[in-house]
Amino acid sequence: MGRENQEPQQQQRPLSRRVLIVGNYCHDVLIKDDVVIAESLGGAASFISVVLDGLSIPSAYVAKVGSDFAYPVSHDPIVSPSSKTTLFHAHFSSEPTESRRQDRVLKRVRSCDPILPSDLPGSRFDFGLAVGVGGEILPETLDRMLDLCTVVFVDVQALIRVFDSVDGTVKMIGLKESGFFHLLPRIGFLKASAEEAPFVDVDEARKLCCVVVTNGKDGCTVHWKDAEYQIAPFSAVQIDPTGAGDSFLGGLVAGLVQGLAVPDAALLGNFCGSLTVGHIGLPKFDPKLLQRVKDEVCRRKMQCSCCLEGLDDRLKFVKPLGHDQFHSALGETKLAFSCSTQECQRDLVNSTAAEQDIHYQFNGQQKVLLNPVFEEPIQSNSSMP
């Protein structure tokens, strides 16, 4: 069902808090100007696992795939005998038009089976993440997660996405019409992109749970009850926006697991998202960079532990002293490790020859295109929304 990362024996502090991630793995095909430039492992769970595994956060995963699943993963999925792996085509254009302002047009070509309440483990978890991308999380599944997990984070795309019956184009409906709205008072954190936020009614939702809206290069905004906090971004050279919001959510949860205040944890989320947009498809982070990040988070936790201990939830949402210094420390860490890598990747993408070679250059490894995956005609699944 999903293997847990085991915490090193020498760690005795409360990092034993476990995280449950629920959402299917996918096959992603990236298409620029009608030319396939890359295929990769997709799904929010895959991007989140890169962050949580890299930051040594104990976690368990529930994800479904078909027998055609093409990638090795650190957390074993459930293999469905009755359907193939969810497949998305992400269409990019080098010359956006007035009618096509989005970074990408996303189409669900095929959908795997939904995740059922019975697929979830029976044990309890401190944190749960509902991160479906293809309609695989059902209201009853989220309801079960809310029973199993002390705090549940929900990416609103898991709730409000619908799919065109003809070509699978991803669209959105209002949260109130989604069949999930009644569960909102039990959700701890709801994450939405700036494009998704109008479908949520942030002013109403923030009265029931914390709403975090990601704003790309402008960072994010934390909305909680009658307050809101702007969380600063990190500079980035964007090559592929896919997975940035997932990586943000992984960083946010990683920070909270390790005892950071919400604004500091959101900074860590912004940091992880800024790293991801510098990669095509699933990112591969420098282990030395991640170690430096872990060191900075540990220092920040030590700095704030006395201040946060015993505070009520309201004060844990306020920016603590030293927040700006934490931002600077993370920014300096990124600058030290990632600038040269980003410049190389930018040069690669901007060159015509590199686009021809990008089929074979993916995160430093040989990339073989799954031609049968791309060539398969678009299908719809009437059992999915």
User: Which segment, 30-39, 154-163, 219-228, 318-327, is predicted with the most confidence on average?
Assistant: 154-163
Q: Would 210 be classed as within a structural domain?
A: yes
Q: Give the per-residue pLDDT at 66.
A: 97
Q: Would 222 be classed as within a structural domain?
A: yes
Mean pLDDT computed over 151-175: 96
- The alpha carbons of the chain give a radius of gyration, in whole angstroms, of 20
Sign of the four-CA dihedral 341, 277, 371, 82: positive
C-beta atoms surrounding 314 within 10 Å? 10
Q: What is the CATH number of the domain that holds 83?
A: 3.40.1190.20
Cβ–Cβ < 8 Å for 182, 216:
no
Query: What does the pLDDT look like over 24-69, one tens digit per residue?
Result: 999 999 898 889 988 999 999 999 999 999 999 999 999 999 999 9
Q: Would 320 be classed as within a structural domain?
A: yes
Total domain count for the chain?
A: 1
Cβ–Cβ < 8 Å for 187, 131:
no
Residues marked active site are found at: 246
- Report how far residue 15's alpha carbon sits from residue 9's, in angstroms, rounded to the nearest whole number: 11
Tokens of 115: 């995740």
Which comes out higher in pLDDT, residue 298 or 237?
298
Q: Would 182 be classed as within a structural domain?
A: yes
Q: Would 116 be classed as within a structural domain?
A: yes
Which residue range(s) make up the domain with 236?
19-95+102-305+315-343
Tokens of 322: 């030293």
Q: Would 109 be classed as within a structural domain?
A: yes
CA dihedral 74, 21, 331, 346 (to 10 degrees): 60
- Report how far residue 67's alpha carbon sits from residue 60's, in angstroms, rounded to the nearest whole number: 21
Q: Would 366 be classed as within a structural domain?
A: no
Cβ–Cβ < 8 Å for 157, 199:
no
Mean pLDDT computed over 300-311: 68
CA 216 to centroid of chain Cα atoms: 13
Q: What percent of the chain is predicted at pLDDT more than 90?
A: 64
Tokens of 319: 């920016």
In the predicted structure, residue 99 carries a pLDDT above the cut 70: no
Q: In what order do the strands lie in the sheet with 227-231?
A: 59-62, 19-22, 125-130, 149-155, 189-193, 210-214, 220-224, 227-231
C-beta atoms surrounding 348 within 10 Å? 16
Q: Is 65 helix (H, G, I), strand (E, B) or coil?
A: strand
Give the pTM. Answer: 0.82
The model's confidence at residue 316, banded by pLDDT at 50, 70 and 90, is confident
The model's confidence at residue 308, banded by pLDDT at 50, 70 and 90, is low
Q: Please, how many CA atoms are within 13 Å of residue 27, restricted to the half-sphere of its CB?
A: 25
Q: Would 257 be classed as within a structural domain?
A: yes
CA dihedral 366, 367, 370, 373 (to 10 degrees): 160
